[in-house]
Amino acid sequence: MKKVVVFIMTAVLSLSVIACGGKEKETKNDAAKSGSNQTAASADTEAAGEQKYKNLTVDADKKEISFEAVLNGTYFTEPTRHAIVGEDGGNADKSMFRAKAYNVDFNDALEELGLSGDSNVSMDDMSASADKNIVNTGDPLEFFIQWDGQEEIPFKDVIKADKDFDWNVVFTGNRDVAESTQAGCFLCLDSCAAGIAVNTLPVGTTAEGGTQFFANEEVLPDDGTTVTITVRPAE
Amino acid sequence: MRWFKAFYNGSLWAMAIALTCFHNTWIQMRINTGYIFYGSWLVLTILCYIATKKRETGILFSITSMILCIAYSYALYGWKRLQIVPASLLREGIHQPTIKFAIINKVIIAFMIIGIIIIILENIREKRDHKGRTL
């Protein structure tokens, strides 16, 4: 009996430790690989007539970008400032949706549609409080979401907060910071130095005591559901 | 059996520590709280094993430990959030975000119930053996 118990304990603890270490390496390697091979891979795949960006579709005629993401039910009850983060990004587990695409590709795809961002928020600005009113500027965007059994609805409808909030999303053009930090952010709920798109609330809006954002459980499907997110330039 | 008690009680305390960390938004947004749980579990299991070397703990210790940890977690999160947060940090720690909360919750409940039953049965068996030796 004792031997069996000790064996089970050792096995479980060993598995825990292995699980803790493994994925980190994989994520960093994948991210680095994805970043460094981006240009070459894009050129090759385009030449071969394949999809230019991994898991990201660009429709130039319709002027829209779409990608799949998985809903994280943790944020039905817990606050977060990360709406959508790429699954290989450092903030992937901290966001409402884990995109199956890469955020630097998302930046490039938006530029391909002729959009631009001013990249006017620096990492040094990120510790500022909301009253400093530091906000991203760039071309305005509209985010939409749909899933099985649900037609496309505005992304704002799946977000709720403990206070009333404005919803104006812009393209930030934060490609360089996004690539260097590998945070993976597609859409942040307040202004940010690393997100490719942000809701233009001032930096620090979501800090302690500020606005708390949640995924809206009353509208959204179950945790783990794959959704499709579509982004278009705002009219 | 001392190892199992340390393993069981260590898991409860580690969960209480991880839930406390998760409750702080600043920590929750920056650190993988699953790592805090698994790391604390390992450390607390070893510490508890060493601490009980001279004097082994009884059933009451494990039952009290379980009740206190459940009460503390409930006070911190309430029922609805308790159905999400422990499962969320467990899956975050092993980088398996697609495992359903319901499955993880079933594993947690099974572990807690089966664990305490093993401790109780083992304690009864030990007492019986002890009685047999003294007669």
- What pLDDT digit, counting tens, does each position of B94-111 carry? 999 889 999 999 999 999
User: Domain spans of chain A?
Assistant: 1-50, 56-233
| A9 contacts B95? CB cut-off 8 A | no
Angle, in degrees to the nearest 10, between helices B101-134 and B59-82: 170
Domain limits for position B93: 2-134
- State how far the alpha carbon of A141 is from the alpha carbons of A91, A110, A176, B49, in Å: 22, 10, 20, 57
- Nearest Cα to A69, choosing from A91, A101, A108? A101
Q: Domain tally for chain B?
A: 1
- State how far the alpha carbon of B21 is from the alpha carbons of A72, A104, A189, B26, in Å: 19, 31, 23, 9
Q: Return the pLDDT at B86.
A: 97
Q: Rounded to two decimals, what is the model's pTM?
A: 0.81
Question: What is the residue-averaged pLDDT of chain A?
Answer: 84
CB A199 within 8 A of CB A167: yes
pLDDT digits (tens, 9 = 90+) for A145-168: 999 999 999 999 999 999 999 999
DSSP code, position A128: -
pLDDT digits (tens, 9 = 90+) for A84-123: 999 999 999 999 999 999 999 999 999 999 999 999 999 9
- State how far the alpha carbon of A212 is from the alpha carbons of A189, A197, B28, B87, B103, in Å: 10, 19, 14, 22, 28
Using an 8 Å CB-CB cutoff, list chain B residues near A16.
Answer: 38, 41-42, 93-94
Q: Return the pLDDT at A79.
A: 94
CB A156 within 8 A of CB A96: no
Nearest CA in chain B to A70: B98
Q: Return the pLDDT at A16.
A: 47
The first and second tokens of residue B101, run together, are 């909360």
> Where is pLDDT greater, at A11 or B71?
B71
| B39 contacts A79? CB cut-off 8 A | no
Across the interface, of B29, B41, B118, the residue whose CB is closest to A94 is: B29
| A73 contacts B94? CB cut-off 8 A | no
Q: Return the pLDDT at A48.
A: 44
Query: Rounded CA gap, A44 and A155, in Å?
Result: 33
What value does the CA radius of gyration of chain A take, rounded to a whole number of Å? 19
Q: In this model, does residue A222 exceed pLDDT 50?
A: yes
Query: Rounded CA gap, A38 and A31, in Å?
Result: 10
Candidate from A1-5, A41-45, A142-146 with smallest mean pLDDT: A41-45
Residues of chain B with pLDDT under 70: 134-135
The first and second tokens of residue B109, run together, are 């409940």
Q: Return the pLDDT at A212.
A: 94
Query: Rounded CA gap, B6 and B53, in Å?
Result: 11
The first and second tokens of residue A191, run together, are 């202004």
Task: Give Cβ neighbours of residue A11 (< 8 Å, ≥ 6 apart).
Answer: none
**Range list of H helices, A59-202:** 103-112, 175-181
Q: Return the pLDDT at A21.
A: 42
Distance from CA of A191 to the nearest CA of B (A): 16
DSSP code, position A231: E
